[in-house]
Each structure stands twice: as C-alpha cells, then as structure tokens.
Chains A and B, each alone.
Chain A
C-alpha cells in the first residue's frame, strides 16, 4: 500500500489538518512505510473471527438523564476561547439566510 500525495491530501481534509508541502512529503513516506509493515497481517486468515472492539464485553451502562454538576458551568466555560451569556462562541456558521427569506 503506497500512500501518495493525493491520498495524504484527501486524508488530511477528513482529519481537518493542513500540512505544508514538506510535511505532506514526509507524511506520504512515513505512512507508506508503516502500512508496508502492516501488510504482514494479510497472511492471517481472519474471515471466521468476530472483531474485538473492547476487552470487556459489558452491557451498556445507563443512568438517569438528569442535570448534575450544574454549578460548574462557569468553571467549564472559563476554559473556552470565547463565550457569551453562558454559550460557546464560534465564527458565524450560517450566512445570508435572513436576506434570502426577505426577498
């Protein structure tokens, strides 16, 4: 499995990372080398085996959907880069909606 520059570009978009030209080249080399090593697993027939996603086969753990630790709101928000009136603030994500309605 060779991971080319196009693959690196595609994966980095999925991962929301931007790599410069040099980083891309290094990433392509590193991922290719790592996946070549991983290719040895192909020799093991796993077709009849169920995948193991977790070491403990426990049932889901449920709890009441109740508010707790509500008094911590300000402490939690303290660490956010930008907040307003108890909300996290992000750059505007919806644009033009009102104008379109008005037309």
Chain B
C-alpha cells in the first residue's frame, strides 16, 4: 500500500524528499492525484481533477533550487484559465469551457515544476462568501462538514486544509482568499494590487481583483510568491514589485524578533459587530506580538465603517460591466433564438445564477442615468477617503492587526436567503482591496473546534514586512500546525526504498 500523500507535505519537505531521492516527481504526481480522487469525496473541494498526469511539463532531475516547486501538488481556483482543464467559474454560463491558454500565474507555477492537480470549487464568478453559490458542487469545511469553507475561494482553502494539495491559488476581490483561509485554518495572502498578473484570471471587479496563494504555512506562501510575483506586459495593471524574488528570504529566520515594530489595532475592527471569541483571539495575538518585541496600540479608522457599502457598489458596478461579455456569441452558453437581442437575454438569464444576477442588477442600477452620481461616484469618492485614512495609518504603524472575519465558519445554508448577512462576512477584509494594500490571514486560534484567523495589513509594497511578522507569529504560536483530524501527514514514498 502506498501511503504517500504529497498534498499533506510542505514545499520544503517535498524538496528534501526529492533531494535525498526518496521519491521522484512522477511518484509524487501519481500519488497526489490518487489521494485527491480518494479523499476529496468528503470535502468536495475540486470541480475537476486531472485523471492522467502525463503531458504536463515534468522537470525531473537537475538541481532543486529554493524557489522551485518541483513535484509540489497545487489546486487552482476555477476562474484561472488552464489550457488543459475546463475553466468554468463554477457557472452554468461557462460549463465545460476550455480556454485556449494558461493564465500567467498558472504558467509560472508550471514552469517552476508545480503539479496542477485540478481546479477548485468557488462561488459563481467569485461572488459569494461561502462557496454555496457554485452551480456544480458543495464544498464542506474540513474542520466540520456541516460548516461552510468560506468563499469565494472555498475549494482552494478546503483542499489545502484537508492536506490534498500543498498550496492553492485563489483570487481576492473583497477577501475571497483571506476569509476562506480564516474559516479553514490556513494561511491566505492578498499581495499588493498588481503584484501577480491577472492575465487569464476571469475578471470580476478589475480594480479590486488580485490573485493570492493559500498554504498551510507562511513559509510556503512566501515560496509560492517568489514564483508568482513578477511584471507581466499582458496585464496593464501589473507592477514591478521592488521585493520580487525576496519573499522566502524574509521568512528564513528560525527565531524572528519584531523589536521596534509598531502595530496598530483599529478599534472599529474589534467592535460589537465582531463575535467575542474572535475578539479574544485578536487580543491574544496582540500579546504574542508584544512578546515578540513589538509595540501594540489601539488606533482608530472611523471611515472603515463605510467600507462595505463603498465596496459593494464599486464591485457590483465593475462586475456588471465585466460580465456584459457573456452574450452567447464567442464562448459559453447560448440559448437559441431567431432574434439576436432575445438570444442575449435568454443566454444570460439561463447561464447566470441568482447571486450573479443580483450583483449585475445592483451594479447596473448604480451606473444608470440618474443614480450614477449618488451611488457609483459617491462610492468612488469614499474609496479615496478610506484609502487615504488607511495609508495614513502606516505613517505611524508598520502593520495593522485585525480579525479576518467577524465570526467563525457559519453553517451551510445559514445565510443563503440573506444577501446582506452574507456580505457582512467580508467586512474586515474589504478595506485592503479598496486601498490596494497587501494583507494576510494566519491561523490565530480556535473556538469550539473551529479555526479563527487574524489579519495583518501593511503599506503598499510592504509584502515582505507582512510575511516576516506573520511568520514570527506562526512560529511562536504553532496554531498553523494543528490540522483537522482526517488530514494526517503521509510522507512515505516507494522510489527510494
């Protein structure tokens, strides 16, 4: 019996096994697919699994550099284009769609030797906070199968938490990487806007969308970022990140200290709207940072209370424009009619699910004549004010510490009939998207057996700082090492024995 479970191993561990020739990459690939096929039935994190692992660029032998992801199994959110696997955005609209190319992020991972095991479940077109808006599958939280994994990158978070893959990619428009990371007890990071190319990421709200990694440690996250963060001329919003390639080196110290660091805890993020057990975890985290040498103080960002409103107006407005491309002409679902206008209407009405329609309607309303100034423009002005206030706080603080989510993972179905309650799940994560700053969620503790994440935010391009502090936190608490019961490690290979 082969008990090799590559997805339960860290990147460093896999590199070590390969270096010592205890396993080979082909064996890792085969075992990863087999393990997912067997164990994902209970989790439901994947929409498509690559049955055969031949044909992907295999980078055997040679030197295993530190940045290399040789043989490392990963999951890709199903809104990132893959030329060899369907890309559906968990929508009937794109059921079975096969993109003609790989997204830049996917291409970079493959070039580094990573093994794309399959495509992960998500809320339709990344709109949602529980992955329940998927047209195809239900994903369960590996810590408690009656709870949601969060969303919209819920499949990616659950797959990592269950040890099916070493890391996964998600996309984060208002918290869609960090919120499911928090609910599933893994690390999720949204780097500075523009750091990772969005070429081949199906657009939701282009001024907010950012790809980010989910992994079981800050160390793994940093290694993935070293591969992904680079300028791409195919994305006009791609930036030249001054710290590109230096992320893993930011987390290499074995006993990092944060002497002299200043960390602010904005009181608006720990108000009554946040559950007490979550606030408790944030207070404990503040103490951990103090023990690491940092000064932790309460601060205030009063405009944050309006971030949710500004966000949903902006995100829905951009979505209504971005999703206008689904008209049954070039790709995706077409509902036939002899009349072209009728064909557009029927295709869109049949292809989109309820939440997507709701957001298109909201966005169309906010952009329509007579309402544009009061809604869209007002929200864009507020965005400036909120962003200025956040940026201003980094003159005083290196980092901001907040909860990632106001609650632990809620029950499946609990919020499906109440869109506003669902939107509230993103209240702590949205500000970073509005301002384009980097933010990370790391496991901060547990409440009744469910993980609670803490969020750190930093100034634009201070991604290294974020990783350094997050790594110091995880090493000193060890919360990230706790795994759901059925996701035990397996590192025994056959090759070398």
Residues of A bordering B, CB below 8 Å: 3, 7-8, 11-12, 14-19, 23, 27, 30-31, 33-34, 37-38, 40-41, 44, 46, 49-56, 58, 60-61, 63, 72, 75-76, 78-82, 88, 90-93
Contact = CB atoms under 8 A, between A and B. Distances in A.
Contact of B365 (A16, A31, A76, A81): A31
Contacts of B328: 81
A63 B358 contact: no
B385 A46 contact: yes
A44 B384 CA distance: 12
B345 A34 contact: no
Interface of B: 97-101, 193-194, 207-208, 233, 236-237, 239, 303, 305-306, 309-310, 312-313, 320, 324, 327-334, 337-341, 343-346, 348-349, 352, 354, 357-358, 360-362, 364-365, 368, 375, 377-385, 387, 419-420, 423, 434-436
B338 A49 contact: no
Contact of A80 (B305, B330, B420): B330
Contacts of A17: 345, 348-349, 352, 357, 360-361
Contact of B348 (A16, A27, A92): A16
Given A17-B352, A33-B420, A49-B381, A3 B365 contact: yes
Contacts of B193: 55-56
B377 A19 contact: no
A32 B194 CA distance: 35
Contacts of B387: 52, 55
Contacts, number: 150
B381 A50 contact: yes
Given A58-B237, A90-B343, 10 more contacts: A16-B324, A17-B345, A44-B382, A54-B207, A58-B239, A61-B236, A76-B100, A78-B100, A79-B97, A91-B343
Given A38-B375, A91-B338, A49 B344 contact: no
Nearest to A81: B334
Contact of B233 (A49, A56, A60, A63): A63
Nearest to B369: A14
15 contacts: A15-B361, A17-B345, A17-B348, A23-B357, A33-B419, A38-B375, A41-B379, A46-B378, A52-B381, A53-B380, A54-B237, A80-B329, A82-B334, A90-B329, A90-B340
A53 to B, nearest CB: 6
Nearest to A60: B236
A41 to B, nearest CB: 5
A72 B101 contact: yes
Nearest to A27: B361
Contacts of B312: 34, 38
Contacts of B435: 55
Among A40, A46, A53, A88, the one with the most B-chain Cβ atoms within 10 Å of its Cβ is A46
Contacts of A88: 329-330
A79 B383 CA distance: 38
Nearest to B381: A46
A22 to B, nearest CB: 11
A76 B192 CA distance: 32
Given A40-B309, A49-B384, A56-B194, A79 B420 contact: no
A19 B420 CA distance: 21
A60 B236 CA distance: 8
A88 B237 CA distance: 30
